[in-house]
């Protein structure tokens, strides 16, 4: 075991342990993940995700990777856009999330142009220059080596391809007191009542604070090679959409 550590929420843990700990969190919350998303965001996460898909400018016949795709919200929205000639890969590090995602997509009649791959975002098992678009929603903050993951995404994109990241970020100053109170007092209680797991939602609040802010993440994308990078704050910066291109 190495001496290197990384953050797991506010705790420091050995680097090689973080992925397993994150997997345990999502094993625990997978069954109630969609209900909790609706409750803790008051349903607004659905609007955020639709904005991401609109910004992705996906066209029929394209190849798309939905990283940390979870229960398939983005995949479901994008499947109709790529059409029968295109395809989407829903990839997640967590098998329980993929199972739930597959079931939900089948319930919505989405099949045929969607594949499923369990993979670590830092070591993507896909060919170079393969995808027209990669999306990752609320997953990057859980990755141990975010720069390695961004490098892997860049490698897998075709020239002309684009990456869109939807993630919690830094809210404007006037929202911060109320947002902090909600995150550390209300959110864990909701997790305890609904998901029977307050600790996982306490980790969620902590992981958000440890994630790079808007400008830092933009710089990390540029370091990976992405160009024309920008970000768009939603809900006062509580979340942000980052976008970059591979030319």
Higher pLDDT, 24 or 77: 77
State the chain's maximal CA–CA distance in angstroms.
49
User: Percentage of the chain surpassing pLDDT 70?
Assistant: 99
Task: Write phi, then psi, for 154 (nearest 5 degrees).
Answer: -60, -45
Q: Say which residues have a Cβ less than 8 Å from residue 171's Cβ, sequence separation at least 6.
A: 179, 235, 236, 237, 238
Q: Would you state the structure tokens that stand for residue 50, as one six-digit string?
A: 């639709």
**Pairing verdict, β 63-67 and 131-137:** parallel
Could you give all domains of the chain from N- to C-terminal order, each with its CATH number?
16-173+201-245 (3.40.50.150)
Would the pLDDT of 110 be above 80?
Answer: yes
Would the pLDDT of 88 be above 80?
Answer: yes
* pLDDT tens digits, 228-240: 999 999 999 999 9
Q: What pTM was estimated for this model as a whole?
A: 0.92
Q: What is the pLDDT of residue 21?
A: 85
* pLDDT tens digits, 120-169: 999 999 999 999 999 999 999 999 999 999 999 999 999 999 999 999 99
Q: Say which residues have a Cβ less than 8 Å from residue 95's Cβ, sequence separation at least 6.
A: 118
Say if residues 171 and 105 touch (Cβ distance below 8 Å).
Answer: no
Q: What is the pLDDT of residue 2?
A: 54
The string over 161-186, giving b where at least 16 C-beta atoms fall within 10 Å of a residue's C-beta and e elsewhere, is: bbbbbbbbbbbeeeeeeebeeebeee
Lowest pLDDT segment from 6-20, 88-102, 126-140, 222-236: 6-20
Residue 49's closest CA among 18, 78, 28? 78
């Amino acid at each position: 075991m190495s001496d290197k550590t990384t953050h797991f929420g506010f705790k420091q843990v050995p680097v090689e342990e973080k992925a397993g700990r994150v997997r345990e969190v999502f094993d625990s919350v997978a069954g109630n993940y969609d209900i909790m998303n609706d409750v803790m965001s008051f349903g607004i996460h659905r609007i955020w995700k639709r904005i991401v898909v609109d910004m992705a400018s996906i066209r029929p016949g394209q190849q798309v990777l939905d990283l940390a795709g979870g229960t398939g919200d983005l995949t479901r929205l994008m499947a109709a856009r790529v059409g029968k000639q295109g395809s989407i890969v829903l990839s997640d590090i967590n098998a329980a999330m993929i199972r739930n995602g597959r079931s939900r997509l089948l319930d919505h009649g989405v099949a045929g142009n969607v594949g499923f791959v369990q993979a670590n975002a830092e070591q993507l098992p896909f060919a170079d220059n393969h995808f027209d678009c990669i999306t990752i929603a609320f997953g990057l903050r859980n990755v141990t080596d975010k720069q390695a993951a961004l490098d892997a995404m860049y490698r897998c994109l075709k020239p002309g391809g684009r990456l869109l990241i939807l993630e919690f970020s830094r809210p404007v100053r006037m929202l911060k007191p109320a947002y902090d109170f909600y995150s550390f007092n209300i959110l864990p209680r909701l997790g305890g009542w609904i998901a029977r797991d307050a600790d996982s939602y306490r980790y969620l609040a902590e992981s958000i604070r440890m994630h790079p802010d808007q400008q830092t993440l933009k710089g990390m994308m540029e370091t990976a090679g992405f160009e024309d990078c920008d970000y768009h704050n939603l809900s006062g910066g509580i979340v942000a959409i980052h976008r970059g291109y591979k030319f």
